[in-house]
Amino acid sequence: MSGINRYLAEIGSRGGRKSRRTLDAETAREMVRVREARRAFRRFRTMCFWSYRPDLEIGATDVAWVAEQLMKHGNREAWLAGAKLCR
């Protein structure tokens, strides 16, 4: 193994050890809800969110709003996506 490969292997393994973290269940669920809300915003943008900027940043406080808009202005598929966010 060359010096550069050894060096890269060392810093790679050190970074992997430092970057491991544990999340409590509630924080992990909240992160998933935000990710799903962002995905639904992009997927149903032309149907439910056409008057908003396409690059609108959806955060944890916006999940309920995204669900409400999906259920109010969308078709059945959008309504189901909104209902899933409400769980």
What pTM does this model have?
A: 0.73
Tell me the pLDDT tens digit for each residue of 19-64: 566 778 899 899 999 999 999 999 999 999 999 999 999 999 999 9
Q: Which residues contact 82 (CB under 8 A, 6 or more apart)?
A: 40, 66, 67, 68, 69, 70, 71, 74
What SS3 class is residue 58?
coil
- For 28-49, b/e burial (b = at least 16 CB within 10 A) is eeeeebbebbbebbebbeeebb
Q: Which of 12-16, 51-55, 83-87 has the lowest mean pLDDT?
A: 12-16
Q: With a cut of 60, say whether residue 10 has pLDDT above it.
A: yes
- Residue among 37, 49, 38, 39 at smallest CA distance from 85: 37
